[in-house]
Chains A and B, each alone.
Chain A
Amino acid sequence: MSEGSRQIEHEAAAWLARRDSGDWSAADAKALDAWLAASTARKVAFLRLETAWLQSGRLKALGAGLATGELPDRGRWTQNLFDLRATQTHDETSQAATRDNAPDIAGAIAGARTRALRAQGGRAWLAAAALAVAAISLAWTWQRHERVEPLAYRTAIGDLRSIALADGSAATLSSDSAIDVALSLRERHIDLTRGEAYFDVAKDAARPFAVQAGDDRIVAVGTRFAVRRDGDDVRVVVTEGTVRLESAPVDGRSQPVTLLPAGSTALANRSGVLVRAGSAIDAERALDWRRGYLVFLDTPLAVAVAEFNRYNARPLVIGDATAAQLRVGGSFRWSNADMFAKLLEQALPVRAEREAERIVLYSR
């Protein structure tokens, strides 16, 4: 490459800006074509900038309701326009309500969309403006109705994700995990469909915060806790406040409701509920994954390896029964299974064989 990528990008932007200036002749167009034809690098750089610039025509929607020449403060949009979460209502009553109360808005949206599509580019703002209206009407229906369509969040293996929920609570999704969030007027309902999540719940006595994990239900008002699913096993770790565990019936008999104070860890499965009391520090340590660490204390290697594999696409595999029994302790970065294997080789009678798709640990 004769030109650097940054230089090409600057040149592409200069061409686009000049074309945008309105002072643009047929000769200029020809010169641009020649410039573009000289290398694919120029072509893709130009295409990339042009795409974003065309899209930026949608910004027109932000000017709605402002006097001309008035430049709003930064962050204004994120505070109002977009904080009307995309909470869509889907039950029939709310749709009927929308129809009864806002027929004109719906019509305007459809109309504006079609027109904008036809007119393209410069008029794309119409669609955006209509969507802003749609957002407002959706927020309005959300205010009035209880049943809401959940928002789904998920993480890939090796990712953590912090999510700010609309009620002020926060959720942290662990690796390879998924939750559906439905916030209604009566209840804040979270469905943990996979993996593990930590919740920092905003206080709202009128709206309990309930996490469904399979057949178990964990209810809090304002507190911090984590819920994790492993097949039929559900683990709850409470770091602050108290939560109520309503576990699934065992052999057809309903289980008593369990109150879990801070520091406790509960394990619920088909055979019942086991609660281990501890300090809040112990509980926090079980949730160190949020900071990127896994903490083991005299943990069988098989268990430690299973933990690591929750976070890594290239799994660690135990090669023999002797290796499985070894005990490990310490605090490890979960993002680096390879480093963990190296440390094991140094500290334990273990040999690691690194294959393309996995790392096998043998005793030696």
Chain B
Amino acid sequence: MDNALDAWFVREILVHEAALVQFLRRSWPQADDVHDLRQEVYVRVYEAAAKALPQQPKSFLFATTRHLMTDRLRRGRVVSIEPAGDFESLNVLVDEVSPEHRLGARQILKRLAEALDRLPERCREIVWLRRVEELPQKEVAARLGISEKAVEKQIAKGMRLLAEHYHGHPKQDGAGAGTRRETGIRDRETR
């Protein structure tokens, strides 16, 4: 991360990925599109922020998301069976979905540990050797008797899967949808 815009993007936008994805899943009929929509939202936000940083990043993120969905519906790329297009009314709901929270280091570690445990066996083993035992990829390959290319491939896979859980951190241990992670005393009080 080499500049202020990137840092801003990570700090103010990526932290809302779970809420964003949940919003997209709720509002958009095709689950397959969520990955693509997510990326396009990020692109729009990043490009707008390059011109001027939004004062209220989270509201801006969700406003951008609604506009994007509306645009796509207009362009007719999606045939919806829902009485679609009423994204404005979801606004309030979504805005409260996840109160901003900065995670403590211990919670970050917990989330990473869960992410690690969700990796496929080989991938998990390789990420463990690379990240926990801090072996260079070359040594990981030697240890496991596989090619360096194969290790690199597994690392790339691990990066994608870790990011998915780290940013998206799906619900906690099987509790129902809509479960929030523990935020403890930092939760904002709404009155």
B88 interface hit (Cβ, 8 Å): yes
CB pair A21 B137 closer than 8 Å = yes
In the complex, how many angstroms separate the beta carbon of B82 from the nearest chain A beta carbon?
11
The answer for the CA separation of A14 and B6 in the assembled complex, in Å, is 20
Would you call A58 an interface residue if the criterion is a C-beta within 8 Å of the partner chain's C-beta atoms?
A: yes
Which of A98-106, A126-134, A247-255 lies at the interface with chain B? A126-134
Contact of A313 with B9 in the complex, beta carbons under 8 Å:
no
Nearest-CB residue, chain B, relative to A87? B184
Establish whether residues B136 and A22, one from each chain, have CB atoms under 8 Å apart when the complex forms. yes
Given the known inter-chain contacts A10-B156, A50-B1, please indicate yes or no for A74 contacting B117, CB distance below 8 A: yes
Task: Tell yes or no: A69 within 8 A of B by CB.
Answer: yes
Bound form: Cα–Cα A30–B58 in Å: 34
With a cutoff of 8 Å between Cβ atoms, the chain B residues found around residue A357 in the complex are 89
User: What is the interface residue range for chain B against chain A?
Assistant: 35 or more
Contact B137 A20 (CB under 8 A): yes
Answer yes or no: A348 CB below 8 A from chain B CBs: no
B43 touches A40 (CB 8 A): yes
Which of B117, B151, B179 is within 8 Å of A161, CB to CB?
A: B179
Looking at the assembled complex, report how far the CB atom of A174 sits from the nearest CB atom of chain B, in whole angstroms. Answer: 11
Task: Verify B132–A127 contact, CB threshold 8 A.
Answer: no
Q: How far is the CA of A44 from the CA of B42 in the complex (A)?
A: 7
Residues of B within 8 A of A178 (CB): 189
Query: What is the CA–CA distance of A42 and B42 in the complex, to the nearest angstrom?
Result: 11
A82 close to B (CB within 8 Å): yes
Report which of B46, B132, B133, B148 forms a contact with A40, defined as CB distance below 8 A.
Answer: B46
Q: Which of A87-110 contact B (CB under 8 A)?
A: 88
Q: Are B131 and A57 in contact (CB under 8 A)?
A: yes
Report the minimal beta-carbon distance from B113 to chain A, rounded to whole angstroms: 4
Q: Which of B118-156 contact A (CB under 8 A)?
A: 124-125, 127-128, 130-134, 136-138, 143, 148, 151-153, 155-156
Q: Do A161 and B178 touch (CB < 8 A)? A: yes
Q: Is B163 an interface residue (CB 8 A)?
A: yes
Question: In the complex, what residues of B have CB within 8 A of residue A71's CB?
Answer: 124-125, 128
Q: How far is the CB of B161 from chain A (nearest CB, A)?
A: 9
| In the bound complex, CA of A356 to CA of B87 (Å) | 10
Q: Collect the chain B residues with CB atoms within 8 Å of residue A22's CB.
A: 136-138
Q: Is A306 in the interface zone, CB < 8 Å from B?
A: no
Complex Cα spacing A87 to B162, Å: 28
- The answer on a CB contact under 8 Å between B156 and A63 is no
Q: What's the minimum C-beta distance from A176 to chain B, rounded to whole angstroms?
A: 9
- A41 closest partner in B (C-beta): B43
- A contacts, CB < 8 Å to B: 1, 4-6, 8-10, 13-14, 16-18, 20-23, 40-41, 43-45, 47-63, 68-69, 71, 74-75, 77-78, 81-82, 86, 88, 122, 127-128, 131-132, 134-135, 149-164, 178, 312-314, 338, 356-357
6 contacts between A and B (CB under 8 A): A10-B160, A59-B113, A78-B117, A155-B178, A160-B178, A163-B175
Contacts A41-B39, A62-B109, A356-B89 known; list 13 others, CB within 8 Å.
A13-B156, A13-B160, A21-B152, A51-B166, A59-B113, A62-B113, A86-B182, A86-B184, A134-B106, A154-B190, A160-B178, A161-B180, A164-B173
